[in-house]
Chains A and B, each alone.
Chain A
Amino acid sequence: MTLHLSDLRPGDAATIVAIDHAGVDPANARQLHEMGFDEGVDVALLHRAPFGGDPVMLRVGNMGVALRKSLAAMVVVERAA
């Protein structure tokens, strides 16, 4: 079963399996990589914003990153064992 970054709950850790490049515009895809997103990188969902739980704050590798759920849905992850 494929799991997306947007499906994680606060406190969940996972590993990035793939970035759905077809669903992301190239500038956003580039920015995701600049923020450290890549296959094999460990991520964790830390916080959801007040007022509706969107955007979300993640730890990507060693870095805090915030993004909207619609973009997080383009990142396929595998839950950490």
Chain B
Amino acid sequence: MTVAVLDAPRVVDAAAMAVVALVGNPNAGKTSLFNALTGSRQKVGNYPGVTVERKMGRLALPDGRSVRLIDLPGTYSLTPRSPDEAVTRDVVLGAQAGEARPDAIVAVIDATNLRNHLRFVLELRRLGLPMVVALNMVDLAERDCTTIDVARLSSILGLPVVPTVAVRRRGLGEIGAALAPLLTGAVPPPADTAADLVLLQREARVIAATVTTQVGVARAWSARLDAIALHPVAGPVLLGCLLFLMFQAVFAWAQVPMDLLSAGVDHLQKLVTAALPAGDLRSLLVDGILHGVGSVVVFLPQILILFFFILCLEQSGYMTRAAFMMDRLMARVGLNGRAFIPLISSFACAIPGIMAARTIAEPRDRLTTILIAPLMTCSARLPVYAVIIAAFIPNRPVAGVLGLQGLVMFGLYVAGVGGALVAAWVLRRTVTRGPTPTFLMEMPKYQWPAPRDIGIGLYQKAWAFLARAGGIILVSTVALWALATWPKPPAPGSSGATLPAIDYSVAGHIGATLEPLFRPIGFNKEIALALVPGMAAREVAISALGTVYSLDADAEHPEGLVQRLHAAWTLPTALAFLAWYVFAPQCLSTLAVTRRETGGWKWPGFMFAYLFAMAYVGAGATYWAARALT
């Protein structure tokens, strides 16, 4: 009786807004369908306690009701191999904290791979939840000369089956229409789900054979592309070219929008300077907030271009080919080709990279991948690299077509990857020693990335970046500005005000205290000072340098940060600073996500210590080598 009373409010709530879960194998086009059904009205968050992304949107049914649609991580079965897949199982079983058991399921299956995807449908059907099957990518099945008897499939399964083409928005209304009569507000109790995998597999094969008519050869197009992409010689060359193109594009394409953003920030600074009287408030707005946040926001175009490439590589199916080609190399350092995908994502940001390592089942393999992910040069280092390179590396052509600045940047990325491989090799022989897991993964067919999916993905990345700029970066910039402003130097004319103003401030004292630690590797007081707020997020170091040098500036030195640095640093110091940033563990968010993913402070602590040691040695070696050569 008590149970019924406690349950009553939930039932009312569910009737108002039922929850429908999208479930399916990876590569079934589930996320495309989710994007098509919900548009950009999505809420992206996390499940409590785990970093699995929780995506929710609203879907309007034809009868006027609305349901909350949740996009669950793709999985091959309800026996999870990774934390991602465990969330899918727990949600459909009603065991996930922070999520009500869904009122219905939409199972997304790939029409060109019925027999495998039907096996999962048969497993899901045993849950006893109301269910609609979205037979996705029917256009590709038609192109493969495959005909599917939808009515027959529906009657065999005993479930409504809706043919869809998510990327062309076909069949969307029919999904709502099929869902509406199933949402009666009463959810049956969880049913027994234990099932023999092999028996389900065989049943699915029989059903698939019964409902499909195949005329001609399937997937000729994908096979022809693979003949090039996986060719023993052309394959690796193509991969190298794609990666190089990606990094060149980040610089070439981003220039114009970055100049525009930068001009916009300058303009705002001038407006505020003109509108306010000189004083602490104007200094806070101009030197603190606008300068600090502005110098980070200008890198948004580069970050978007990088994510654009990564999203395209993922959605086209090429990323798995890259993993396939890299497996052998990864195996040499004790990893798995699968680790290549999180590591490539880490070029955008180590946080999604570390989260993507969840697809690696073997715990030690996964831990090693997490530990080396921060060595992939993330987009937050781009602002740092870009400013230092602009200040110290001449932009002259090399071999006619390539720019020296681009080459140096490429070299920094290569140094990070090299460091990661060495670190993995050492880790797998020491702290994460254990058997090397095998490599087994689906190679999905190639697909044109859908512009809508890329657009929504980029929008979410841009938003996350700007939220960071508005949050952690803004706070640390203002804090640094305050530390660098007070106490003020003695009034002019009195004795002792001979040093730059910043030397009298709290920040100046922190920098002076840290300086002896960093002096052997060529860092000055300003760098030591910038490294402190740079702990919050790497790119803050640039806004910190901007703030420090801008506060330090006077009427005779009104130049931008690039010119200031060029005048203030020697070349060996600049190179050492770059080397430091290749390895340095400077990101609290990365350490925090590592703590969440590894369940304690032990591994983030280890990560910090070993990366700090690598950065110190790397920067020191660079400094002394550069001094010897110049």
Residue of A31, A47, A52, A54 touching B230 (CB-CB under 8 A) = A47
- Cβ of A34 and Cβ of B197 under 8 Å apart? yes
User: Do A67 and B440 touch across chains, with their CB atoms under 8 A apart?
Assistant: yes
| In the complex, chain A residues 16-52 whose Cβ is within 8 Å of any chain B Cβ | 27-28, 30-36, 38, 41, 46-52
Q: Is A2 engaged at the interface, CB distance under 8 Å to the other chain?
A: no
Q: B337 to A50, Cβ gap below 8 A? A: no
**Beta-carbon contact of A66 and B441 below 8 Å:** yes
| A38 to B443 CA separation, bound complex (whole angstroms) | 18
B132 to chain A, nearest CB (A): 23
How far is it, in angstroms, between the C-alpha of A48 and the C-alpha of B442 when the chains are bound? Answer: 15
Q: Mark B108-119, 1 if CB is under 8 A from A, else 0.
A: 000011111001
Check B235 for interface membership: any CB of A closer than 8 A. Answer: yes
Q: Does B81 contact A (CB under 8 A)?
A: yes
Interface of B is mostly: helix
CB neighbours of B202 from chain A (8 A) = 38
- Determine the distance from Cα of A71 to Cα of B440 in the docked complex, in whole angstroms: 9
Stretch at the interface among B13-21, B320-328, B552-560, B619-627: B320-328
Q: A32 to B230, alpha carbons, bound, how many Å?
A: 22
Contact status B443-A71, CB under 8 Å: no
Complex Cα distance A47/B361, Å? Answer: 25
Segment 572-586 of B: residues with Cβ below 8 Å from A: none
B444 contacts the other chain (CB 8 A): yes
CB within 8 Å of A: which of B184-238?
Answer: 197-198, 201-202, 205, 218-219, 222-223, 226, 230-233, 235-236
- For residue A68, CB closer than 8 A to chain B, the reply is yes
Q: A49-B324, A49-B325 are in contact. Are A65 and B438 (CB under 8 A)?
A: no
Instruction: Please classify how large the interface on chain B is, using the bins under 10, 10 to 19, 20 to 34, 35 or more.
Output: 35 or more
- The minimal Cβ–Cβ distance linking B532 to chain A, given in whole angstroms, is 44
The distance in angstroms between the C-alpha atoms of A33 and B203, with both chains bound, is 13
Residue from B115, B219, B230, B440 whose CB has the most chain A CB atoms within 10 Å? B440
Q: Is the CB of B116 within 8 A of A61?
A: yes
Contact yes or no, B327 A63, CB < 8 A: no
Q: Which residues of A contact B610 (CB under 8 A)?
A: none
Expressed in whole angstroms, the Cα–Cα distance for A64 and B77 within the complex equals 18
Residues of A within 8 A of B236 (CB): 50-51
Asked if B116 contacts A36 (CB within 8 A), the reply is yes
The chain B residue with its CB closest to the CB of A33 is B197
B77 touches A61 (CB 8 A): no
Contact A52 B438 (CB under 8 A): no
Q: Which residues of B have CB within 8 Å of A41?
A: 205
Docked-complex contact B440 and A57, CB < 8 angstroms: no
Cα of A52 to Cα of B445 in the assembled complex, Å = 24
Instruction: Report how far A46 CA is from B228 CA in the complex, Å.
Output: 12
18 contacts between A and B (CB under 8 A): A30-B79, A31-B81, A32-B440, A33-B197, A38-B205, A41-B205, A47-B226, A49-B328, A50-B233, A50-B236, A51-B325, A64-B226, A64-B442, A64-B444, A66-B442, A67-B439, A68-B327, A70-B438
Residues of B participating in the A interface, judged by any CB pair closer than 8 Å: 76-77, 79, 81, 112-116, 119, 197-198, 201-202, 205, 218-219, 222-223, 226, 230-233, 235-236, 320, 323-325, 327-329, 331, 337, 361, 438-445
